[in-house]
Structure 1
Amino acid sequence: MIEKGDLFQIKRDIETCIGEKVQLKANKGRKKTFIREGVLENTYSSIFIVKFENEYEATRRVSYSYTDILTKAVELVVCKDNKRIQVS
């Protein structure tokens, strides 16, 4: 069961990492995963935004919910001061 306190803690953890480089691993279904590095751009009441840049210098912003992290559909690893911190 998802508890409001768990979501609040995940949101607080992510808010402290705004502007940091992150590695995001998302489950896209049918045994496909999406692994990219980007920058945690912003947080809102129910979602957070990650900005990705590709080899063509195009910027793409993707939003995920805090529930995605709680249900393990998305894994977020923060690369801070050459250390890797997993948010969960």
Structure 2
Amino acid sequence: MPTTLADIKKKLDGRIGSHVMVIAQAGRKKTTERHGIIHETYPAVFVVDLDQAENSFERVSYSYTDILTKNIEVNFVEELEKEA
């Protein structure tokens, strides 16, 4: 996994349009799992268009810092399917 904010942004820049599963910390020992597609990257955040069958809202944004501090985990669906 990339170790700097610039590395994280660069990796996500190259994966726009990729299907992802985002696992986010939602409090003490709770996590939320969301599926979607990386829509856009910006200097401080990236936007994921969510699967409408699973979520009541269209998109969500996360900061690269969330990945670095392990508040969220981003898994690329193609890579998960290869491992299975």
| Shorter-chain TM band | 0.7 to 0.9
Give RMSD over aligned pairs: 1.9
Q: Give the Cα separation in 1 of the matches to 2:7 and 2:54.
A: 36
Residue by residue, what CA displacement relative to the aligned partner does 1:4-58 show, whole Å, maximum 9, x if unpaired?
x711001101111000100100001122111121101000000000111232786
1:8 pairs with one of 3, 6, 9: 6
Paired residue for 1:19? 17
1:60-79 to structure 2, matched below 5 A, reads: 60-79=58-77
Paired residue for 1:32? 30
Q: Counterpart of 1:39 in 2: which secondary structure?
A: strand
Q: Give the Cα separation in 2 of the matches to 1:49 and 1:56.
A: 17
Q: Which runs of 4+ in 1 moved over 3 A?
A: 56-59
Q: Counterpart of 1:29 in 2: which secondary structure?
A: coil
More strand by share: 1
Q: Which amino acid aligns with 1:41?
A: H
Unaligned runs of 5+ in 2: none
Give the TM-score, by structure 2 length.
0.82
Residues paired across the two proteins, number: 78
Q: Which amino acid aligns with 1:63?
A: S
Q: Percent of counterpart pairs with the same letter? A: 40
More helix by share: 2
Q: Is the 8 A contact 1:51 1:59 kept in 2?
A: no
Unaligned runs of 5+ in 1: none
